[in-house]
Amino acid sequence: MRAVIQRVTKARVVVAHRTVGSIDAGVAVLLAVHHDDGDRQIQWLAEKIINLRIFSDSDGRMNRSLADIGGEMLIVSQFTLYGDCRKGRRPSYHEAAPPARARELYERFIKEVAHHGTKTATGCFGAEMELSVTNDGPVTIIIDTPAMNP
């Protein structure tokens, strides 16, 4: 899995002129599923993001996690994170999971995050979406899950 995490003061997703998901302070996560991903990647990434210390403590140091601040997570599927642009002018998406498998793992990731007690909001898998974020910092982190058996 590959995730782009942005610390936000607020974020929302609009589909067909209707807000389908929104959060206040927390993180917006753009999530791509690799064709080799499975439960281990889901569990590892959910725990990593929830406990990533990217929020300021009373001294202004990034020393608090999403769990520490009781923050929210907006999760948006984005297979294009696996776009390989090294050859030609059109990205190749051969590393991304097929849509049915990606949807299944995306939905399981959302459940895993919620299982940890984090309030979640989402986009609509496969839909054309408008994502509005108010970056906080800005702080943007890219995480790839390590190679492990699915």
Catalytic residue flag (residue 9): no
Active site residue 6: no
Strand partners, 6: 28, 140
Closest CA to 6 of 146, 129, 137: 137
Tell me, yes or no, if 125 is annotated catalytic.
no
Give CA angle at 137 (16, 61), nearest 5°.
140
Active-site residue among 6, 41, 55, 78?
A: 78
Catalytic residue among 6, 41, 55, 79: 79
Residue type, 1: M
| Position 84, amino acid | D
Q: Are 1 and 144 in contact (CB under 8 A)?
A: yes
Catalytic residues, which ones? 78-80
